[in-house]
Amino acid sequence: MLSLWISGDEKAFEEIYKRYFPVLVSVAWQKSGDRFIAEEVVQECMLAFYHRREAGIANVGAYLQVILRNKLYDYFRKTLIMQQHVASAGERVAQVDDPYQRLFQEELMAGIRKSINLLPEQCRKVFLLSREEHLSNQEIAVRLGISVNTVEQHMRKALRRLRQELPPAVVVFLLMAFYYVR
């Protein structure tokens, strides 16, 4: 299969993808605890693998496992750094004494809340349970009586809409630090 793909047969890559994608998602899901993140990371792995066609690969499964491990390390490292920055920013936001800065923050929070309130009702409920009550997708599914897959779809929809409506810096603030300032 590998030799066919290296020689240019795209169908061979499709077969490799179909064979390894579910296995890699399962491993990534166990490590990350989030199916959406697992699928995204594995998608990045498969893309990296695709672009390394000419590399001397002896064992496809082992090679993909190494790529997955590195992508997960990258994801966790970036997440940790972002959390540290957001925590630091949250502390600074909470300590602001400048009335103009406070007014700006209140207006920013009002804009964020307005964007959240524009989400469809079920989508908004899922988003707020995730961000305000810090519930897992499984816990949200049980509370609302819907499937975990439906929860994930609502989260994707909410994040996509918020990314469209809000500036990127505000989206990062919203995703990580929204609940430091109330």
Reported as a single tens digit per residue, the pLDDT across 85-137 is: 666 665 655 555 667 777 777 777 787 788 889 999 999 999 889 888 888 88
Q: For residue 149, name the pLDDT band (cuts at 50, 70, 90).
A: very high
pLDDT at 135: 85
Q: For residue 179, name the pLDDT band (cuts at 50, 70, 90).
A: very low
pLDDT at 147: 93
97-177 fold:
Arc Repressor Mutant, subunit A (1.10.10)
CATH architecture of 2-78: Orthogonal Bundle (1.10)
pLDDT at 4: 72
Helix then strand then coil, in percent of the chain rounded to 5, is: 80, 0, 20
Q: Are 181 and 90 in contact (CB under 8 A)?
A: yes
Alpha-carbon distance of 24 to 39, in angstroms, equals 9
Please say if the pLDDT value at position 40 is more than 50: yes
Residue range 60-72: mean pLDDT, rounded: 91
Name the pTM for this structure.
0.49
Please say if the pLDDT value at position 162 is more than 50: yes
Which long-range contacts link 14-19 to residues 24+ away (Cβ below 8 Å)? 16/49, 16/60, 17/46
Residue range 158-170: mean pLDDT, rounded: 74
Residue range 45-50: mean pLDDT, rounded: 88
Residues of the chain with CATH 1.10.1740: 2-78
Residues of the chain with CATH 1.10.10.10: 97-177
pLDDT at 182: 35
